[in-house]
Every structure is written in structure tokens, then in C-alpha cells.
Chain A
Amino acid sequence: MLKGILFDIQRYAIHDGSGIRTLVFFKGCPLECEWCSNPESQFMLPEMGYFPDNCIRCDKCIPACPYGSIREEENILITDRSFCRECYHSRQALQCTTVCQSLARKAIGAYYTVDEVMKEVLKDQLIYRQTGGGVTLSGGEPTQQAEFAEALLRELQDNLIDTAIETCGYCKWENLQRLLPYLDQMFFDIKLFDSEEHARYTGVKNELILDNISRLGKELDNYDIELYMRTPVIPGITDSRDNIENICRFLSEQGIKNIEFLSYHKLGRGKYLTIGKEYKLYDIEPPAKEFIAECDGIAEKYGLNPVHFE
């Protein structure tokens, strides 16, 4: 049976599309942006999240780990994560989470059928209708699991639920194209215009993304989709005037109208520790409100329509 890997289904979301929505978070992303606020979304298998505040020191995880990677040192549990990835790929994955009663070690990511996702998202169908909300596919990167995403979107449309997707646009055009008939709103990231810079901060070059934007610009008229491009404003990385100007000029040339400049925020920082990853942007502060307004001004100069969902 067709299954997708997700890391969360979050109800009552209000910042990712219109009205009150449910977010379906896909796990796995081809990019690894340094500012990513959902670092647990990047790796495409279930992985272990560690929440030391929940630990009651039953120490059952120590013998449970097949790699012997958990040990006590000066009364503190230390997890050597060098074998974790190997564990995730193995048949006996995540033993440490199955013995943990206090949710200090928790598996992040699980496989769902379309029916299982539908059961969750249908729970709020009344408030979608009352508030003009719906369901947003987010991530991670939904197009990485295009077959599952398509099946889910089709089912949502069959239930008259409005749909939206958040994508980084790094995928084969066919994988994006197959979703278009089932989408009401689309949020498409364009982070850095310079391909080398893009590679430096996200791990991949941006030609594929720009190409997909161009195609989308041409084909958009065939669909009934509200398209919003999104540029995360990361001080010192994406906030150069050049970058903003180039993005706006490019979008304008593709005949694309809406853009939202998203302020960098620090809320994802804690999650890096949870999954044993390093966060590189500790000394960055969110951009000033005035700067976002300036970006909006640049967009308008190029005939774009800057928007903000709160």
C-alpha cells in the first residue's frame, strides 16, 4: 500500500495559507538550508529525537542500544550519535525509543497511508469551511514523495477541502506538474538568486529551481492556483539588495505576481540539539521590520504584489 513518511500533522495552523489549516509535514528534503526551522524534516527516515528534560533516568536505553552508543558520564547520559544513521537504516531501528516510557527518546517520523492522513485532517473540516482554511502540505519537501502527495491532494479535493503546498521547488518538473491539478494555493521558495551562493547555504545549486519557476510561470494560466513566491530574509545571507532585486526582476520576467518576504526567526534553534545537529547561525538576529518593508518596496518597483500572511 502507498505510504508516505511524515514527521507531524499539526492542526490549527494559521500562518501557512488562508484560514485555519492543518499542516501535513513531509519528511525528507533535498536542501539543507542553514536557517531551516524544521531540521528534523531533512532526513528521509525516522530518526531519534532526544528530549533530556523528559528523562527519568531509568537508563533502559543504555542496554537497548545495539551499538553501545549511550553511556553515563558524571551522572549525565551521553549519546554518541555517530552510529545513529546506520541504526536508522537497519531492521532493528530506534530500539532506544521503544524502551523509553517517558518520551525522552522519541522516534521522529512515521509512515502513513493516505487514509490515515485523511482521518486526521478531516477532523477539522468544519472549521476549514467556516474560516476559508484547508490543508497545507509542508515539510520537508512534499515533491520528494510526489506519488503520495498527489494521492493525498486528490483525496482532499474529493472531500472539497482547499489545498496548499509549500515547496522549495527542487525537483523534476514532472513531479511538480502532477500536483498542479489538485492545488488551490502554492508557496514556492526562491531563496538566493546566485547559484553558487545557493549551493553554499542550502547544499544545492538553483538552476533546477529557477527552471521550474519559469515553467510554472508559463503554465500557471492552465490551472486555478494562487501562487505565492517566498523569500526568507536571512541577515547576511539572503538580504543583500542585489539578491532581492535579482529575485524580483526574475519573477517579474516570468509573469509571476505575488511574493512574500519572510523574516528569519530563531524558533527552530532548539530542534537542532534534539536531533544532534549543529546550528550555524547563532549570532544572527531577525531583520528589522523596516527592512522587510524595503523589500516590499523593491517588489512593487518590479510590478510584483508583496503579501504577508500575518
Chain B
Amino acid sequence: MSNNTESIGSFQYATERSWTERIENLINYIHGIEPGICIERGRFVIEAYKENEAEPTMIKRARALEKILENMTIYILPGSLLVGNQASRPRWAPLFPEFAVSWLEEEIFEKNPYYPADRPADPFIIPEPEKTLPEFKEIFDWWRGKTHMDRVYSHLPEEVITAQDKFGAINEYNYIQGGDGHFSPDHGYLIRTGLRKIIDDCKERLANLDKTAPEYHQKREFYQSLIISCEAVIKYAHRYADLALEVAKRTEDPVRRQELEKIAEICRNVPEYPARSFYEAIQFVTFTQIVLQIEDNGQGISVGRFDQFLYDFYKADIESGELTYDKAVELTENFYAMLYTVNRIKSWSDTDFFRGSPMFQNLTVGGIDPVTGQDATNDLTYIALQATADTRLTQPSLTARMHKNAPEKYKKRVAEVIRLGTGYPAVFNDDAYIAALINRGYSVEDASDYCVIGCAEAGPAGLLGGRTGGAWLNMTKILELTLNNGYDPRTGASLHPNKSNKTLAEFSSYEELEEEYYRQLRYYISLEMIMENTIDLLYEKHMEEPLAAALGCPRTTIPRGLPMKKGGAKYDFTGQQTIGTANIANSLYAIKKLVFEDKKLTGEQLLHALHTNFEDNTTNPTGEEIRQMCLNVEKYGNDIDEVDTLAREALQAVCEEQVKYFNTRKGRGPIGCHLHTSTTTVSSNTPFGRFCGATPDGRKAGMPVADGQSPMRGTDVNGPTAALKSVSKLRQVLLSCGSLYNLKFSPNDLAGKNGLKRFISLIDYYFSMGGMQMQFNVVSKETLLEAQKKPEQHKSLLVRVAGYSAYFVTLEKTVQEDIIERTEEALA
């Protein structure tokens, strides 16, 4: 038994950083700026749309981007070695009115539910409201009724709207109110090619088009829009060159002056031409990442395998003496700071699902070489890990790929960085992910070259289009609807009755209930498909993105003359996120045991207790006694086969049903083109819980449901090995879109060499059983409670929310509570 009861507290405060003064100042500068809304983009998009009304969508979109990049405010951050900005100030969010305006209009002018600056979490200030509000009004007036969101709602069948807005059984606000994002640009190809070559290629293809062919116009628009967009990006880079020289003139410090002159020189070369050094390559990547976030406000534009595609540049520069290890660390940390400046304002209702302003700019390190299959870690792997340890920023998200033969030194470094408590990196099991991708038709080489996109979705950079994120599926709600014969007790609405027309009070066997649940599940999955088709159709008709085509998958879009949403990528899938596996397993098992096997309760008694939120004390047994019975039935997460089997079946049913449906790119070129499943949750388990009444697992109405595939918080009481084993029983290989398992540890559990070794052995254990992904919150409960009380002293406390980390104190109270409650797996 341990006698080490003293709390060490959070390691975040106890560990020294090794960053340079430049990086420290830069990051402190950015931290000092309150997020706000930048109106500029909104202004320029209207101008461009007005000027190009007769043009087809792609040209119009390209002209809009051109206008923005030409006219937006640009700046160079103090001391920064890299340039590029998305909005007029760091962490300010540009407006994307073409996607949706109604929610922002309501928030700003009706304060419904909150004025953006007064939100309880992730607030955005509006600068000089007396001056800017009239212009906001103008923008909203112009777009009202003709945004992407307006179109989606006018296309969606009523039952889909009911299922989303009333029931919360499915949800896709993120892609109804904004763009897609969610791909990893072909950085490795781009930095070795340069945009000029892409432009020349497009020009040549344009010149050679058969003007009599039926697809001529579509191809012409495609190539022209790519040319316009790439030229605009080159000009945007030249603006920084000019600005750097201008600032240099005013700069007295000769060292900084030289740095600015160097920036100018680099911006004249990249992204127009191939990068000539590590420094240029990283500036190229910075521009690519940022301009894509100006074209579209989608999340998850991911960096990809940073340590792989940059390594040749690094190696050459180290060998020539132009670069040192320390300088590479500084540039990488500077790069992280640039990514951190990118932001997006989502509606309050969507913010609920994505707490902590996540942009999901995921950066992947480690893993195997796609050709040799051997370990591919190198200096840059360790540099990227160091940068996360030093900067402790919410962006970029860091992914560490692991495999059977990963070096122990790498595992140790990964464990040390996780132990800092920033929630990064998440660890991914190559052996499992690669198998899952091959199962969906990826070649061995492409599968092996996967990076993580967004939250936990995997695919090769530059080759995967489609949408890695799509609709959420709230399984808990679907079970509640099943128990009530399709009726929703919360709203009184009814959509799809059970085939037997029975409720829980009438089911004659457990098998009957299970059958009805799976029938309802299939129905709601079919509604997801309707939603996906609608959104995809409208994206491709009205929102097509030329720059994403040029930078995302240039090696296939350009030869095909097709943007990604029309089938331009090599691989294409639509991901679906599934929430609440644990609630389904636990609830089904509780009903099976209490009602049908042990007969401690009748279905009617249990249903009544659920309707009354376990609060009716006039029944015998009382509501609370029934709740205790429910709570004390065995739960998923304790390595008990009987209930773990139900979890496996519940998730497997979703996976197997979803792959039956095809997306709009089927037959248009890419491999795949069907739905597939992930368990990425972000913070959606909290809002989804609000839609759900009391459940037979003992959960009370409105409380959060379990995240993707993790055990319900507080119910995995047999220690981490039992929990890991339960979760590994799910057929994770079917989760080709991504698997997400949250574990929370106290820092004192991970103390010392033995703590690290144990931690690594748990990761090895889970992965050797087929586990795909793990991510960690490493803070003491005491620290979190204290941070709730004294937020001002814990501003930099990062916690893992789901596929990303956020500053704990910026999270809303209920999400904070949820994080505190997540089972603290006692490692000691």
C-alpha cells in the first residue's frame, strides 16, 4: 500500500520551460489579447459577391478570397520570425457570413442567449460597438435568407429537423453553420513544388481543354478559380515582404532589422516557389495553414506529419551549418504560436458542443515509415514534443503515433510531455489505425502514412478529402425514444413508433427491447444520411473551395479538374461521431438484469421512475431506491464480459449500419465514399445529456452522457487495467474514422521514473489489446477544484476536453464539473 498521500499538485507549475525570451514574449503578447470578432472579412466577401454576381460559384469564391487577401489588415507580431494572420488581431475570429448569420444576429442584437462578449464560456468582444454594429447590421441584412444555413433548413425534411432541434438525437450544427475544414494539406508536396508551378499547371490544362466538351465550363471554372486563388496567396505573401521592409526601416535594433529583412526575402520566395531551407519551409506551411482558414472557417485543417515532411530540410540545414537544433526548436515554437492565433466564432449552441475554442489544427509526430514500415522518429519528433512542453498552448493539438517497435526513448519523452498536464499529446496506435484504414480500402502505404485530422480522425495528408466530421449520434436519446415507443417525454413530440408499438412497460422480453432499440438506431442513422447528403449537395453547389482544392489534394484535384466536394480526392469518407456507448450498455444491462432476469422491478415501475426522474417517493420501491438498484448493477468499464458485450454490440451496430450509406462523391473518382464511424465527442456529451431524460443506468435527467467510448465517469471502479480491458473489447478496428478514450490521472500517480514506466506500460497494454487511441488529463482533483474557486490564478491550466485541450477556467461550470468527475484512475 502506498503511503504517499501528499498531493504534488499540477506538474504544469512545477516544470521549467526551456523556451527563448523571444518565444516567451511572443506568447505572453498573444495571451494578453482578448478574443474578438473581426468584421473585415464580412465586408470584403459582400463586395466580391456583388462585383461577381454573374460568375459561377467557384470563381465568385476565388474572387472573394482574392479581395480579402488583398485588403485585410496584416501585421507582424513583435519578435516573431514567422508571418501570416487570419484576422486583424491575434485570436480574433473573422466573419463568415456566407455560412450563417441568423445566430450571430440574434446573439448581437437580441442578446439571445448571450451577447458574444458576455458568454459564460469562450466570449468574443466586439470592438467599438457604436461604430461597428451598424456595419454588422448591414452585413446581416444582405445575407439574411441566402446563407448556407438558410439553404440547409429549406432542404431538410421535417423529421430530420425534429430529430436534431427537438430531440437532440442527431446534430450537425457545425456543418450547417460553418464550413468543413477537416483535411490535412499536402504540405510535403507543396513546399517542394511552390504555387507558381501549380498555377502553370492549371494554365496549361485550361489551355488544353476541349471547349466543345459538356464538362468544359465546369473545368474552366475550376482551373480559373485555382489560378486566381493561388495568385492571391502569392500576393498576400508579398504584402508581408513589403510590410517587413517597412517595419525594418523603423526598427532601431540592428538584429531585429536583419530578421525583418530576412522575413521579406523569404516571403518573396515562398509560397510562390519551393522552399530552400527549413526556415522557408516552415513559413510556407504557416501561410498554407492560415490562408485556408481565411477561405473557410471549418475546423481541423491539420498540419500532418510535421517530423516527416520537414525532415529533409532540417537535415540539410543542420549538415550545412545553417541551422542548429535550438534554432529549429525556436522556429517550431514560433510556428505553434502562429497556429494559436487562428480562431473561429461558433454560435453559442454549437459552442456548447466544442468548448474551449478548439480549432483542431492537429500536428502528428512519430509512427512508422510508410515504405519500410520501420520506426520513423527523428530529431524533429523530439523538437515538436519540446515545443508543446514549452509553449503549452491549446493549439496546435499534438498527436504521438506509437507502434510495436517505437523506441523507449520516444515513449518516455511522450509520457513526460503528457505528464505536464496539457492534455497533449494524445497517443495513437499505428498497428490498430493502419489496420482500420486498410479495412476501408486504403493501400498499405497510404494507410501507414496517416496523420491525425481534427480530433482523432486519421488519413493521409493530401490524399483524403470528404469530411472526417459529420453528424453526431446521441445513442442515449435513441434508447429513451425506444423505451417510450418513439415518443419524446421532454417535448411531447413523436416521430417513429416501435414496430411492436410497445413501451418499456409492455415489452415481453429483453430481446424484444433490444430489437426495437436497434430498429430505432437504424432509423436515426438514416436521418443522418439525409442530413449529410443535404449539406454536401449545398456545399458543392454554393460553397465550393478553390484554395482547398489547390492546397488540400492538388495531386488528384488538378488532374481530375474537380474540387474535393465533387470527388477530387484520392480517398473520401464521411465521418459520423457516436456518443454514449457506455450509457447504452449500462442501461440495457440494467433493464436486462432488474426487469427480465432478477425481476426486481417491472418495466412499468422502471419507466415510471424514469419519467419522474427517480424522484417519486410514493411508489414502492421509491424512485430513489430504484435509482440505487440501477446504479448498482454492473457497469461497462470494469472488465465484466456480460455488460462489456452489450457495449461492443451497441457500437458495432452503429459502425456496421453507417458503412452501408454512400456520400455524394460515390462513383465520381475517390476510393471509399461511404459513411464510417468515430467516437470523437469533443464536449457534446454535456449538451446531448440535456436532451435526455433519466436513464436506466441511474443517470438523472439532463446530466451529461458518457463520451464516445469511455466508461461513464465514476463507474469504472476496478482500476485502470480493468477499464482499459473493457474498452479494448469494443471492435475498435471498425472505428476507421477515429477512436477516443479519455483517461484522467493525478500528476502524483505519474511521479518519478517508476511512474513513467507504469504509465507507458498501461499504454502498451491497451495498444497490445487492439486499443486505438488514448488521451489524458493529468491534473489533481484538488488543482481543478482550486481553479474553479480562484480562476484568476489558474489561467494557464490546460485540460483535455476531448479531441483537444482547453484552458480550464474558460470552460463553463458544467463542463468543468464533468472534467472533475471523470474517473480519476488511481495509478498509485
Which A residues form the contact surface with B (CB < 8 A)? Answer: 10-12, 14-16, 20, 37, 56, 58, 101-103, 123-124, 126-127, 130-131, 263-267, 286, 310
Contact = CB atoms under 8 A, between A and B. Distances in A.
B632 A124 contact: no
Contacts of A265: 1-3, 5
B725 interface: yes
A266 B1 CA distance: 11
Main secondary structure of the interface of A (DSSP, over half): loop
A12 B719 contact: yes
Contacts of A15: 1-2
A124 B721 contact: yes
Given A58-B622, A102-B628, A37 B768 contact: no
A123 B718 CA distance: 12
B754 interface: yes
Nearest to B3: A265
Interface in B609-634: 621-622, 624-625, 628-629, 632
A264 B720 CA distance: 26
Nearest to A263: B3
Contacts of B827: 12, 14
B763 to A, nearest CB: 11
Given A14-B828, A130-B765, A101 B758 contact: no
B299 to A, nearest CB: 37
Given A12-B722, A123-B722, 12 more contacts: A10-B719, A11-B718, A12-B719, A103-B628, A124-B721, A124-B722, A127-B721, A130-B764, A131-B761, A265-B1, A265-B5, A310-B2
Closest CB pairs A-B (n = 9): A12-B719, A265-B3, A101-B628, A102-B628, A127-B765, A11-B719, A12-B721, A131-B761, A263-B3
B768 A130 contact: yes
Interface string B464-488: 0000000000000000000000000
29 contacts: A10-B719, A11-B718, A12-B826, A14-B827, A20-B721, A37-B1, A56-B625, A56-B628, A58-B625, A101-B621, A101-B629, A101-B632, A102-B625, A103-B628, A103-B632, A123-B722, A123-B725, A124-B721, A126-B765, A126-B768, A127-B721, A127-B761, A263-B3, A265-B3, A266-B5, A267-B1, A267-B2, A310-B4, A310-B754
Contact of A101 (B625, B720, B725, B768): B625
B639 interface: yes
B639 A286 contact: no
B318 interface: no
A239 to B, nearest CB: 15
B626 to A, nearest CB: 8
Interface residues of B, number: 29
A271 B693 CA distance: 37
A141 B288 CA distance: 67
A187 B769 CA distance: 32
A116 to B, nearest CB: 14
A167 B765 CA distance: 30
A14 B765 contact: no
Contacts of A11: 639, 718-719, 721-722
A20 B1 contact: no
Interface in B745-788: 754, 758, 761, 764-765, 768-769
Contacts of B629: 101
Given A11-B719, A101-B625, A20 B5 contact: no
A260 B4 CA distance: 16
Contact of B720 (A10, A12, A16, A267): A12
Interface in B621-653: 621-622, 624-625, 628-629, 632, 639
A123 B624 contact: no
Select the residue from B1, B625, B632, B758 with max chain A CB neighbours within 10 A.
Answer: B1
